A and B are shown apart, each in its own frame.
Chain A
Amino acid sequence: DTAVSQTPKYLVTQMGNDKSIKCEQNLGHDTMYWYKQDSKKFLKIMFSYNNKELIINETVPNRFSPKSPDKAHLNLHINSLELGDSAVYFCASSQSRSGLRLTQYFGPGTRLLVL
């Protein structure tokens, strides 16, 4: 029944490792997003996909690579993890209409800790 789900919810890993976070939405939305929330709670958009096409790509290190196999899934792969990557990562989805993206629904977040 979960509208937007993310796995895993917690991820603890060593510097230099590669990890992935998965996101799935069952709302039938056509747009999905990744956000990063830092330790000061500041939320910043990273990527947005509409119907599997990348439409927003903020200034994010190219170690971060989103992948959208279909419009219900948007995964985030991170290479060569660094200490500064420690944060909570939120996936979200929304339905577009007339070019305007409507309410975004968020997943529960994935807390990533890089040691």
Chain B
Amino acid sequence: AQTVTQSQPEMSVQEAETVTLSCTYDTSESDYYLFWYKQPPSRQMILVIRQEAYKQQNATENRFSVNFQKAAKSFSLKISDSQLGDAAMYFCAYTYNNDMRFGAGTRLTVKP
């Protein structure tokens, strides 16, 4: 079974600084998708960034970028120039075929 592990239950970053959230996953598939979702206190699940496993280039969305290491099955999220609005739970997710698996989440606090 595919599993997703986020080893950092909580992280803290100073406003305007950079923070990296870790994620590892376990799969025997070669073609799959990885995601980072953000869940602010409003509870809404918001897609932050997506990575196709067949692409070697790391995905980037403005201040958000990933470090995708396929061989190591690692998919970390880097948030640059952190803003107060980035404070939320961040979930790493893996999908293959019909199934999506989530990590346990990392709660990110942004200090002014």
Interface residues of A (CB under 8 A from B): 31, 33, 40-45, 48, 50, 55-56, 88, 90, 92, 99-106, 108-109, 111
Contacts and interface: CB of A to CB of B under 8 A. Distances in A.
Contacts of B31: 100
Contacts of B43: 88, 108-109, 111
Contacts of B42: 108
Nearest to B101: A45
Majority-rule SS of A interface residues = strand
Given A41-B89, A41-B105, A42-B104, A108 B97 contact: no
Contact of B105 (A42, A104, A106): A42
Interface string B67-107: 00000000000000000000001010001111111101100
Interface string B19-39: 000000000000111010101
